[in-house]
Chain A
Amino acid sequence: MRLRLEGIRLRREGFELNIPELEVGEGEFMTLLGPSGCGKTTTLRIIAGFERAEGRVFFDGEDVTKRPPYERNIGIVFQDYALFPHMTVFDNVAFGLRLRKLSKAEIEREVREVLSLVGLEGLENRYPEQLSGGQQQRVALARALIIRPRLLLLDEPLSNLDAKIRERLRGEVKRVQRELGVTTVYVTHDQEEAMAISDRIAVMKDGRIIQVGRPLELYYRPKDEFVARFLGTGNILLLEAKNGRACLGSLCFDTEGEGKVRVFFRPESVFIMQGEEADVVDYELLPGRMRLFLEVEGQRIVAERFIPELPFSPERVPKKVGVRVGDYLILSP
């Protein structure tokens, strides 16, 4: 199913959500990424129909703005899972089917099927409080999927879990989504998670979508400083451009405009060689990699390289090194 938002506006005290347009394609995994309070949950709730706003919501070209949530056929996984505490796992998962008046045998079969899809067999008779966080998360996913939703909405479904389980489960969410081919909108404020599972990401800030694109596109071609910084460590140099070139010492960049420009590049785009152009201010050893904090003409640059690529031994880091910048981008002012 294709999801389309048009002219969404919602005003609250001290907050305004404004999404002129957003489209999620058939079977696409779209992630809303942004800092806390930027309006991710609100957007999701507008799509689900829990929140009223100006503008219109389309499912496959059909205007569903006026439809109540229970007629939209959407699956939602809430941040706190929202499992019904007075029902067993089986009853929780069967809830949506019972409302659809399926026969007992059918319900039984479907529940087994979806529980095996999320890898949760044999826990049917437990109550939510008797499950671990990860298991609860799977039940919530199963409950949302069993109604064969046209659209799957996930609001930070992994944020209550610890790091290890989070990584494993995000892979499973992605696998299940791909297997079923269900159009999905996923909310998170974890950029790594977003990069790992999304087809496309919409970066949000203060109630607006700043940029939409594929993960690598956003990572290497951010539209502005906010996106650049939000998606990981980045170097931004403020330079003066003359005749289509901006230089920092012997490091030169091609620019289109003249005057003040901001040059952006990722730490892994900085190559280290022998030389004298940059002072090594400090360094950190990461698993298999080294992060170097350099200074060129008074400006800081962060570089990151695999250890075998370094022209020196990690035991003996020189005071000065040479630098080259591979892939870079001139940020719009």
Chain B
Amino acid sequence: MRAMVGRRFWVLLLLPSLLFLVLFFYYPIALILLDGLSWGSLSSVLANPYYRHVILFTIEQAIGSTVLTLLLGLPGAYLFAKYDFPGKRFLKALLTVPFVMPSIMVALGFILLFGRSGFITSLLGRDLGVLYSWKAILLAHAFYNFPVVVRMVSSLWARINPHYEEAAESLGARGFTLFRRVTLPMLYPAIFASSMLTFIFSFLSFAIPLILGGYRYGTIEVAIFTSIMTLLDFRTGAALAVLQMGLSFTFMYLYLKSLDAYSKAEEQRVLQRPRKLTLSDFRGLRGAGIVLYSLIVFLFILAPLLAVFYDSLTSSGHFTLKWYRHLFESSYNPIFGSDSLHAVIWTFVFGFSTVLLATLIALTMSYSSRRWDLPGKIIFDVLATLPLGSSAIIIGLGYIKAFHRPPLLLLGSPFLIIAAHTTIAYPFALRAVSAALKKVRPSLREAAMSLGASDLLAFLKVELPLAFGGIVVGAVFSFAMSVAELGATYMIYQPKYTTVTIAIYRYLGSRQFGPASAMAVVLMLVSMAGFLVIERTGEEVW
């Protein structure tokens, strides 16, 4: 009996996590399906030319974003795989920055750069028409995703056995033919997987199209949000949500499949040493390419951040600290119905609670998944992964439906916000933790057990310490996602629990960029701290 409990202890650990998942994900989603999955509501949405346009635009901009991301990422992948150059480490660290930057801050940065009196606009002397159009959306999506392309493709590129290329060369392939016929096909798994990821990110994107897209360019996610928050049309919202989920689950499935192919290809262990470039190499075309690319990356990633930082210190062209002073005033601010100090406090409360819950869920789930010895593991894995394919707005809509009346009257409670953030964040923590655990050889656990460690003890003493880096990365991601969360929080919060992100959104609505920037700098500092923690773990996240 003791042995039975010992061996199946994971079931006990898993139960609370499963309960959470059912209550805060599957139940709300079921309510949406119940409402939206009917012929009547689906066909009335599809018959409406506006929504048809929205769906089409969502897919078009996702494709466009993917193409732009690839264009920006592939040269970097080449440089990173093939060469070692001064400043590579710094560039690599810089590419991690977008992972932790809240989209509201990036959107604000874009407004400050491309707006009518923006930095770039005044530098060029004319408005490029980037803002409030598809162009800004594509650029912001590329900002977030091109580091993924650089990471995945370069990692595979560095693993291509040089003998293949040499063999092809000896057979007469050269230059572009060599690349197209031999190298490129071997990169397909990485290109496909990173493209799918970019596509899904752009497909489910909310804050960026909401703020940067203006009236004419909204995604399905934005359309659901408006139909519920401004039109109070739950039927249409639910129908759109069903359509979006159907598509995103399909894309997610394709992504996970492509990720499998990618991991398999990445397992090959022939790591080519990148060629070391010295300063004298920099005189040629190659050097110019590296300098140019580094410069573009540098500007692209840092420009929005610098713009926000600069703007937080100026008022109509003059240096000022008043926006920061406002930050520490605990006076009621009618724009967001709370005060800035409390916004900062709540942001941290939600952030840390999310880290705690998401990490616990990720740990129990990955532990159970590793120890699973009953039928139905696939079903469990699917159930645990599905939330990855839902979206913040769908969670928000589901929560409004599920928790607006007793006995589950949770709407407006801070606990519900934590639940929402956890549901959104834990799949990422789970992926980070399981990826780290997967690297721990199974023989280590067995060695511990042969020496007398029970199953759980072997996990705690051997597997967990070795996966610690992955857990930290997962925790930082969870924190970053909670802090940056806008859509779901906005749908279920009360002004009392305004977060920094929501405050910035409200400021943007009333076009007060100064205080918005000062608040965004707070977010930036928090994100930077997360970034530094990730750098310290030495874990490869990008």
Contact = CB atoms under 8 A, between A and B. Distances in A.
Contacts of A153: 450
A86 interface: yes
Contacts of A67: 3
Given A80-B441, A80-B443, A68 B449 contact: yes
B446 A50 contact: yes
Contacts of B447: 76, 78, 82-84, 143
A16 B447 CA distance: 26
A91 to B, nearest CB: 10
A323 interface: no
A83 B6 CA distance: 24
Q: Please report whether the interface of chain B is mostly helix, strand, loop or mixed according to DSSP.
A: helix
Nearest to A146: B451
B455 interface: yes
B455 A73 contact: no
Contact of B446 (A76, A96, A143): A76
Interface in A59-85: 66-76, 78-80, 82-85
Given A76-B447, A82-B443, A99 B3 contact: no
A325 B443 CA distance: 49
B444 interface: yes
Contacts of A316: none
Nearest to B7: A68
Contact of A70 (B454, B462, B465, B466): B454
Contact of B450 (A76, A80, A83, A85): A76
Contacts of B360: none
Nearest to B466: A86
B3 A66 contact: yes
Interface in A122-146: 143-144
A95 B451 CA distance: 7
B302 interface: no
A144 B449 CA distance: 11
Q: Please report whether the interface of chain A is mostly helix, strand, loop or mixed according to DSSP.
A: loop
Interface in B445-463: 446-455, 457-458, 461-462
Given A78-B443, A84-B444, A73 B3 contact: no
B538 to A, nearest CB: 14
Nearest to B468: A86
A283 B446 CA distance: 50
A144 B448 CA distance: 10
A99 B453 contact: yes
Given A78-B446, A82-B446, A85-B466, A70 B441 contact: no
A100 B452 contact: yes
Interface in A72-125: 72-76, 78-80, 82-86, 95-96, 99-100
Nearest to A52: B373
A331 interface: no
Contacts of B443: 78-80, 82
Nearest to A75: B450
Contacts of A79: 443
Contact of B444 (A48, A82, A96): A82
Interface string A135-164: 000000001100100000100000000000
Given A66-B3, A67-B3, A68-B6, A99 B450 contact: no
Contact of A96 (B3, B452, B454): B452
Interface in B321-374: none
Nearest to A153: B450
Interface string B196-221: 00000000000000000000000000
Contacts of B466: 84-86
A95 B462 CA distance: 10
Contacts of B461: 95
Contacts of A75: 450-451
Contacts of A72: 450
Nearest to A48: B450
A79 B443 CA distance: 9
A100 B451 CA distance: 9
A71 B3 contact: yes
A48 B447 CA distance: 10
B452 A73 contact: yes
A114 to B, nearest CB: 13
Contacts of B444: 82, 84
B446 to A, nearest CB: 6
Contact of A147 (B441, B452, B462): B452
Contacts of A147: 451-452
Residue of A72, A75, A85 with most chain B CB atoms under a 10 A cut-off? A85
B51 to A, nearest CB: 49
A233 to B, nearest CB: 35
Nearest to A67: B3
Contacts of A48: 446, 450
A88 to B, nearest CB: 13
Contacts of A69: 446, 449-450
A75 to B, nearest CB: 7
Nearest to B444: A82
Given A82-B443, A85-B466, A96 B451 contact: yes
Contacts of A84: 444, 447-448, 462, 466
Contacts of B448: 84, 95
Contacts of B446: 48, 50, 69, 76, 78, 82
Interface in B98-157: none
A79 B447 CA distance: 11
Contacts of A80: 441, 443
Interface of B: 3, 6-7, 441, 443-444, 446-455, 457-458, 461-462, 465-466
6 contacts: A68-B454, A69-B449, A69-B450, A72-B450, A82-B443, A84-B444
Given A68-B3, A68-B6, A72-B450, 6 more contacts: A48-B450, A69-B446, A70-B450, A80-B441, A100-B452, A143-B447
